[in-house]
A and B are shown apart, each in its own frame.
Chain A
């Protein structure tokens, strides 16, 4: 299963990559900018998008997901106010997780989505 990880904090991105790799997932790319997410997704065709909402450019994770379309999304963000949640829900994600992330919970959701897609 291939995952595209978008995270503007590089340390958090590295940790997610390490945790997911140890569990057998392929991390296609680590992106910190929204525009970069859109381009990588179109090039690499990942099975899952793990997106932080707040990214380094004007295109946030929700906008990027909306632009990409048809790829399962898991949002991971510290921003979970009502307005952001509503925007995120509109892209029909698998889950919206709040930081700091519980890696067990994250892996469990990914596994479930993999089972559903297989």
Chain B
């Protein structure tokens, strides 16, 4: 830091004023950054020293446990990890290389806290820690109660005091053989003999001693046999020939006089390949390497427990007493299935390795796809149902409207028939009055007028008769109507002649209609019927050629598209010379009625009188 300030001062002496200001600002920034970096590093850094390499499953799981807690902490904590590798550097003298390494590496840096895992690392720190990291608190993990006594670490109420070392706390690692055997009996209640596999190392000897001490508590339930093979080959032979009611307890077998030391990760799978019975273990790595089951010391839980203590130390809180060994029930499912274990006796928090995935787990992908397809189909079905309902509602609505329209149409039809009926009745009364008048003593002129009037009433009545009979009630067949009208006039002429005892004879009235007969509304039919009536009546009165009966031709045809032409022709003397001066009521009516239907009238003479009316046919209304 002083060197940095000295450099800054030297640079400033050779600069202009503005450059000096910039130099001061940048130097202050550099000072702030270096200060804050140092503060962070010093306030939240933990040095973890493991006894063994990370390839050892215990150490790996322990480190994972530490990181799972510290990585989730609110503050940023730097974790520095070192490994003594005590399985290779087996003597204390060799550890001096490691302490020298630490001394050089961390010469300018003191961690906030040190966590050590297992005996060798703790032993080293108790010897060298004061010199290496003065006053830095130490937390331990993976240490048995027996080891604590060796290290002269004591519990003083809630505090932990080391032998001239700042030990702040820790977590015990005690194997619990009794619980391991109880677990074995729960899983395989019919097994009655435990074969304890150990070696002649101090740990192996100690473990045998522990088992012997607890054996009496299993009297009547289990008997104990001890296997201490002198070679791997002997081990293979022994474990492959165990009786059916046996359980094998792996209780530290990593050395034989013949084959030397063997790593756990090699020897345990070797035992499993040869054993004819289930194998119990005391440590988690034994199960992960292949043993059947165990109530085991748990590296991961060791890591999480000591990391939680570390957070309390960093926050200045009391750590509390040394934590008890956080052991776990751990099993390998394929082994349990193979040896027909009572799996329902497992506790709920048991760690089950190599678990056969359940149906849902095994088919997660297929189920997810199926669920997606079902959801997709459900959405489509929902949409279709919705659409169908909409369509049904629309159809129902349309049907309701149709029913209303049909009802209205029927009502209209009934009303129209009633109107025609009343009209016919009234026309009948009207015609009756005219007929009664005709029977009275009247002059020929009046009689002619009344006859004409009666004919007009007939023409109108005939329209209503025909409309009454048609389906539509609104339009009639024009040619059919004219034909009936002519037939009636022909008959009337005959009767009148007979009644008058006329010698003129009955007139010939002939219809010649060509083309398709149009359907016309009452608005066209009534005026047209009256025109035909007037023209024929006119010919009956004035169209006789001498004493011969009148011969009248009615022609109807389409002059051109949309225009109908009707002409009434007789063979009489024709209209007076000055046709335009014809002022009879009949002619007036013809002209007026033709105008009413948008038509035109031509009166002309050609071997008789010809009355021609042309009018547009727009179809039935």
Assess the B436–A18 pair: CB atoms within 8 A. yes
**Interface residues, chain B, with chain A CB atoms under 8 Å away:** 417, 421-422, 424-425, 427-429, 431-433, 435-436, 439, 457-458, 461, 465, 468-469, 488, 491-492, 495
Known contacts A78-B421, A79-B421; is A101 also within 8 Å of B428 by CB?
yes
CA distance A16 to B429 in the complex (A): 11
For residue A87, CB closer than 8 A to chain B, the reply is no
Q: Which stretch, A7-15, A28-36, A38-46, A59-67, touches the partner chain B?
A: A7-15
23 contacts between A and B (CB under 8 A): A11-B432, A11-B433, A14-B432, A14-B436, A15-B435, A15-B436, A16-B432, A18-B435, A19-B435, A22-B439, A78-B421, A78-B424, A79-B421, A80-B468, A81-B417, A98-B424, A99-B425, A99-B428, A100-B427, A100-B431, A100-B458, A100-B461, A104-B495
Assess the B428–A12 pair: CB atoms within 8 A. yes
On chain B, the residues within 8 Å of A102 by CB distance are: 488, 491
CA distance A99 to B495 in the complex (A): 19
**Interface residues, chain A, with chain B CB atoms under 8 Å away:** 9, 11-12, 14-16, 18-19, 22, 78-81, 98-104
Assess the A9–B429 pair: CB atoms within 8 A. yes
By Cβ-Cβ distance, the 6 closest A-B pairs, closest first, are A15-B432, A100-B428, A78-B424, A99-B428, A100-B461, A78-B421
Of listed B425, B427, B495, residue having the most chain A CB within 10 A: B425
Q: A9-B428, A15-B431 are known contacts; what are 14 more A-B pairs with Cβ within 8 Å?
A: A9-B425, A11-B433, A12-B428, A12-B432, A15-B433, A18-B436, A78-B421, A78-B422, A78-B428, A98-B465, A99-B425, A100-B424, A100-B461, A102-B488
Name the CB-closest residue of A to B420: A78
On chain A, the residues within 8 Å of B429 by CB distance are: 9, 11-12
Count of A-B contacts judged by CB separation below 8 Å: 55
CA distance A18 to B431 in the complex (A): 13
* Least CB distance, A104 to chain B, in whole angstroms: 5
Q: Among B424, B425, B439, B458, point to the contact of A18 (Cβ < 8 A).
A: B439
Known contacts A9-B425, A11-B429, A78-B425; is A100 also within 8 Å of B436 by CB?
no
On chain B, the residues within 8 Å of A103 by CB distance are: 435
Assess the B421–A11 pair: CB atoms within 8 A. no
Q: Among B422, B457, B492, point to the contact of A100 (Cβ < 8 A).
A: B457
* Least CB distance, B311 to chain A, in whole angstroms: 103
On chain A, the residues within 8 Å of B488 by CB distance are: 102
* Least CB distance, A36 to chain B, in whole angstroms: 20
Name the CB-closest residue of B to A79: B421
CA distance A22 to B440 in the complex (A): 12
Name the CB-closest residue of B to A102: B488
* Least CB distance, B433 to chain A, in whole angstroms: 6
Of listed B428, B433, B458, B495, residue having the most chain A CB within 10 A: B428
Name the CB-closest residue of A to B434: A15
On chain B, the residues within 8 Å of A19 by CB distance are: 435
Name the CB-closest residue of A to B424: A78
CA distance A18 to B439 in the complex (A): 8
CA distance A104 to B421 in the complex (A): 22
On chain A, the residues within 8 Å of B428 by CB distance are: 9, 12, 78, 99-101
Name the CB-closest residue of A to B422: A78
* Least CB distance, B587 to chain A, in whole angstroms: 26
On chain B, the residues within 8 Å of A22 by CB distance are: 439
CA distance A78 to B467 in the complex (A): 12
On chain A, the residues within 8 Å of B436 by CB distance are: 11, 14-15, 18
On chain A, the residues within 8 Å of B435 by CB distance are: 15, 18-19, 103
CA distance A2 to B88 in the complex (A): 151
On chain B, the residues within 8 Å of A98 by CB distance are: 424, 465, 468
* Least CB distance, B363 to chain A, in whole angstroms: 74
On chain B, the residues within 8 Å of A79 by CB distance are: 421
On chain B, the residues within 8 Å of A16 by CB distance are: 432
CA distance A18 to B495 in the complex (A): 17
* Least CB distance, A11 to chain B, in whole angstroms: 5
